[in-house]
Amino acid sequence: MAKEIKDLIAKIQTEGIKAAEDKAREIEAKAHAQAQLIIAQAHAQAKKITGDAQEQADKIRKSMETSLSQAGRDFLITLRAQVDTMLDKLVAENIRQSLTPEELFKIILALIKGATDKGSSQVIITLSVEDRKHLEKCFLKKLIEETKAQIVLKASDEISAGLRISFDAGKSHFDFSDTALAEYIALDIRPELARILKIK
């Protein structure tokens, strides 16, 4: 009887240990499966976060590149406008300094001598108020003597240097005023300036 009880206890212990081991293996397998699922979900989440972050970084980079490119264009446009303004001022200033009454005399003399229909009509020369006074006082007599032309000097507030000359009593004129000459010279220089400050 004691042996049977002992065998029964041993059997119960063996079966209990086996059942416990089976249960432990089952729990371990479930825990392992659960852990694998959590790891897979974590990997998927990390991949999504990384992908979203990369996409956001790409958007920010493209936005920054666009902004920098636009800022560069805006800077060049502003720079070109400022250089144009400086160029206009420099050209106008140099023209005014160059067109002294003495130079005006030489220019007028050459223009009248080069005219094909000289003497057929009045030659009207329009100048600044100051240049007209100076030319009339110092050079008009000499101009008439050398060209044999009928010369009329007029003053205009629109001209600060240079002249306008008409060979048909004012019906038409050639414009050699500081404004016209500055525009012509700047027009010649601007293509080179545009090449240097090329805006892409």
Q: Do 63 and 145 sit in the same domain of this protein?
A: no
Q: Do 188 and 112 sit in the same domain of this protein?
A: yes
How far apart, in whole angstroms, are the C-alpha atoms of residue 130 and residue 157?
10
Structural domain for 110, as ranges: 99-196
State the burial class of residue 23 (Cβ atoms within 10 Å of its Cβ: 0-12, 13-18, 19+): exposed
Q: Do 63 and 143 sit in the same domain of this protein?
A: no
- Assess if residue 131 is contained within a domain: yes
Q: Are strands 174-177 and 162-166 parallel, antiparallel or unpaired?
A: antiparallel
Per-residue confidence in pLDDT tens, the chain, 200 aa: 677 777 667 767 677 677 767 777 778 788 778 878 888 887 888 788 888 888 888 888 888 888 888 887 888 788 778 877 887 788 778 888 888 888 888 888 888 888 766 555 689 999 999 999 998 888 888 888 888 888 889 999 988 888 999 988 778 888 988 888 888 887 777 777 777 766 54
Q: Do 120 and 168 sit in the same domain of this protein?
A: yes
Q: Do 128 and 62 sit in the same domain of this protein?
A: no
- Assess if residue 87 is contained within a domain: no
Tally of structural domains, the chain? 2
Q: Which residues lie closer than 8 Å to 92 by C-beta, 6 or more apart? A: 178, 179, 182
Q: Do 144 and 65 sit in the same domain of this protein?
A: no
- Assess if residue 82 is contained within a domain: no
Other CB atoms within 10 Å distance of the CB of residue 76: 14
Q: Do 163 and 110 sit in the same domain of this protein?
A: yes
Q: Which residues lie closer than 8 Å to 160 by C-beta, 6 or more apart? A: 96, 128, 178
How far apart, in whole angstroms, are the C-alpha atoms of residue 132 and residue 134?
6
Whether the full predicted model's pTM is greater than 0.75, yes or no, is: no
